[in-house]
């Protein structure tokens, strides 16, 4: 249901952008659109469904296999048993004994033989027509397979867990990318607004300089300096507009919605305290998606090893058959049969042994990758934790600088109007304030990106997203 709402939300944005010159977009809305439109997330979700069906299929092998089998058969000739030679021998022996015992004339012997021919039936029987039919119901139930079926089920379960990890990894990566791209565009928007404020102030300053020059209160040099500052401010503002356009293009591609005139209204997130790096390391060791993914792959390989090991053991199955179509049964074929079947492979060219050793080596390789991943996690946590703390400290240190530069600017503006300050001093004060405001926005951007990446390493990107969406929804209420 949430996915459909997100899709409708994205469609609304796309439609809304064609009707209005400018509209607002929150970070929560950008996240919802990205998740609804991202092909890799949708593909990972489908892969997860595939793994679920594979697991169900593997579990189905625990149950008996019941089937009906039918066939139409044609052979070169019908199968018969012909004992007429024995019949002839019996009749001949009987006639000879009769003739010897009775001494009867030939006509009487011939009559006796004729009676025997009529009394003794034909000694031939057809067992199978050349065209015959078969219809059999059967059941086969594996009772013992050396643990292969159970191991295969566990391996498929591990594969499902791996597909879930891949889905989560893709989702977390998308969340981090959206947060970074949104706040990069937000930074560009803030820079554009700061450049706009600076340009407005320089325009006002240039007008004041023009008026003061006309009444002879400032020199031509001061007036020219104001004009140069106006040209510089105009150029910087135009550059900030282009930077914002590019940042919005990147954000558009990530969330799958075309953005033109949009106001990014979610402010940079700032927290007062970032926990110690050791806390995030412990969380990452437990929740990091890449690490959990490799651990599940190791579990899958171990289960495959168990399945291969089962090939060295016998398999036992119960079976039963019942002939549904009996008309073409021969005398030697029963209507039903039931029993046990056992099989033990003695020699297969060593393929099972070699495959078992191959899986063992793969487990050893994964162990090395897991060790390396732990080191990489440790380094990444240290890096992003340091960047987040440094950005917060930078932002806090700039607060006092902003107060000072604002006070200086107001002082120089008043002094300039009274002819007590130069144009250069006013412009330098304007530039100092612009620089501090830009550095503050940059510090907040650096913190948010570093914190989002820290949450990604810790496997908590979805918690971060839920917090962002929850805060947005609470603010709307």
Q: Which residues face 131 on adjacent strands?
A: 74
Q: Which residues face 318 on adjacent strands?
A: 141, 340
92 and 211 inside one domain? no
Rounded to whole angstroms, the Cα distance separating 199 from 282 reads: 49
Q: What are phi and psi of 72, to 5 degrees?
A: -115, 125
95 and 227 inside one domain? no
Q: What are phi and psi of 454, to 5 degrees?
A: -65, -40
246 and 297 inside one domain? yes
361 and 469 inside one domain? yes
Per-residue pLDDT for the chain (477 aa), expressed as one digit of tens each? 444 444 444 544 444 444 444 689 999 999 999 999 888 899 999 999 999 999 999 999 899 999 999 999 988 888 777 777 777 888 788 877 877 777 777 787 787 778 877 777 877 777 788 888 999 999 999 999 989 999 999 999 999 999 999 999 999 999 999 999 999 999 999 999 999 998 998 898 889 888 888 888 778 888 888 899 899 999 999 999 999 999 999 999 999 888 878 999 999 988 877 889 999 999 999 999 999 999 999 999 999 999 999 989 999 999 999 999 988 888 778 999 999 999 998 988 888 899 999 999 999 999 999 999 999 999 999 999 999 999 999 998 888 888 888 888 888 888 887 777 777 888 888 888 899 999 999 999 999 999 999 999 999 998 888 888 776 555 554
Q: Burial, 330: exposed, middle or buried (Cβ in 10 Å; 0-12, 13-18, 19+)?
A: exposed
The answer to whether residue 323 sits within a structural domain is no
58 and 88 inside one domain? no
Rounded to whole angstroms, the Cα distance separating 307 from 159 reads: 15
38 and 109 inside one domain? no
The answer to whether residue 470 sits within a structural domain is yes
Contacts for 399-403: CB closer than 8 Å, 24+ residues apart? 399/440, 401/436, 402/433, 402/436, 402/437, 402/440
187 and 272 inside one domain? yes
104 and 252 inside one domain? no
Q: Which residues does 210 contact at the CB level (< 8 Å), separation at least 6? A: 223, 226
Give the chain's domain count: 2
Q: Which residues face 80 on adjacent strands?
A: 126
108 and 218 inside one domain? no
Domain residue limits at 28: 2-63+147-312+351-476
Model pTM score: 0.76
The answer to whether residue 78 sits within a structural domain is no
The answer to whether residue 218 sits within a structural domain is yes
Q: Is there a contact between 161 and 220 (Cβ–Cβ < 8 Å)?
A: no
HEC letters along 244-304: HHHHHHHHHHHHCCCCCCEEECCCCCCCCCCCCHHHHHHHHHHHCHHHHHHHHHHHHHHHH
Q: What are phi and psi of 316, to 5 degrees?
A: -130, 135
110 and 59 inside one domain? no
Over the range 388-414, which residues count as b (16 or more CB within 10 Å of their CB) and which as e?
Answer: bbebbebbeebeebeeebeebbeebbe
The answer to whether residue 268 sits within a structural domain is yes
Q: Is there a contact between 107 and 293 (Cβ–Cβ < 8 Å)?
A: no
CATH code of the domain covering residue 254: 1.20.1600.10
The answer to whether residue 379 sits within a structural domain is yes
Q: Is there a contact between 401 and 429 (Cβ–Cβ < 8 Å)?
A: no
88 and 203 inside one domain? no
287 and 425 inside one domain? yes
The answer to whether residue 445 sits within a structural domain is yes
The answer to whether residue 336 sits within a structural domain is no
Q: Which residues does 192 contact at the CB level (< 8 Å), separation at least 6? A: 237, 240, 241, 243, 244
């Amino acid at each position: 249901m949430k996915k459909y709402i997100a899709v409708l939300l994205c469609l609304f944005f796309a439609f809304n952008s064609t009707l209005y010159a400018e509209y607002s977009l929150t970070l929560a809305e950008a996240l919802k659109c990205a998740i609804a439109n991202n092909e890799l997330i949708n593909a990972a979700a489908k892969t997860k469904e595939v793994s679920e069906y594979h697991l169900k299929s593997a579990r189905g092998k625990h149950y008996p296999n019941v089937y009906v089998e039918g066939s139409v058969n044609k052979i070169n000739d019908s199968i018969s048993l012909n004992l007429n030679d024995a019949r002839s021998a019996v009749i001949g022996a009987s006639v000879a004994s009769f003739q010897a015992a009775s001494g009867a004339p030939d006509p009487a012997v011939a009559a006796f033989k004729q009676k025997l021919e009529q009394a003794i039936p034909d000694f031939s029987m057809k067992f199978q027509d050349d065209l015959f039919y078969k219809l059999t119901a059967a059941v086969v139930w594996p009772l013992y397979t050396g643990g292969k079926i159970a191991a295969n089920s566990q391996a498929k379960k591990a594969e499902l867990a791996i597909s879930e990890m891949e889905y989560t990894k893709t989702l977390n990566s998308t969340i981090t990318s959206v947060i970074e791209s949104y706040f990069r565009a937000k930074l560009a928007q803030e820079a554009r607004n700061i450049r706009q404020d600076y340009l407005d102030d320089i325009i006002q300053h240039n007008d004041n300089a023009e008026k003061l020059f006309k009444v002879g209160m400032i020199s031509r040099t001061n007036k020219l300096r104001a004009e140069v500052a106006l040209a510089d401010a105009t150029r910087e503002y135009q550059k900030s507009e282009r930077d914002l356009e590019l940042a919005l293009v990147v954000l558009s591609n990530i969330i799958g919605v075309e953005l033109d005139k949009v106001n990014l209204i979610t402010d940079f997130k700032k927290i007062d305290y970032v926990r110690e790096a050791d806390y995030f390391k412990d969380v990452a060791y437990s929740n990091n998606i890449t690490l959990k993914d490799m651990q599940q792959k190791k579990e899958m390989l171990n289960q495959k090893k168990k399945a291969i090991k089962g090939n060295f053991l016998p398999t036992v199955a119960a079976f039963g058959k019942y002939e549904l179509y009996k008309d073409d049964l021969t005398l030697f074929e029963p209507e039903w049969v039931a029993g046990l079947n056992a099989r033990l492979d003695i020699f297969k060219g060593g393929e099972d042994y070699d495959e078992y050793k191959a899986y063992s080596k793969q487990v050893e390789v994964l162990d090395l990758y897991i060790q390396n991943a732990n080191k990489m996690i440790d380094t990444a946590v240290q890096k992003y934790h340091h960047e987040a703390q440094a950005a917060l400290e930078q932002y806090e240190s700039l607060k006092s600088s902003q107060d000072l530069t604002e006070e200086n600017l107001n002082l120089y503006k008043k002094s300039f109007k009274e002819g007590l300050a130069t144009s250069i001093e006013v412009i330098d004060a304007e530039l100092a304030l612009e620089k501090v405001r830009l550095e503050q926005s940059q510090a907040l951007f650096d913190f948010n990106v570093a914190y989002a990446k820290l949450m990604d390493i810790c496997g908590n990107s979805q918690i971060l997203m839920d917090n962002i969406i929850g805060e947005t929804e609470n603010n709307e209420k």
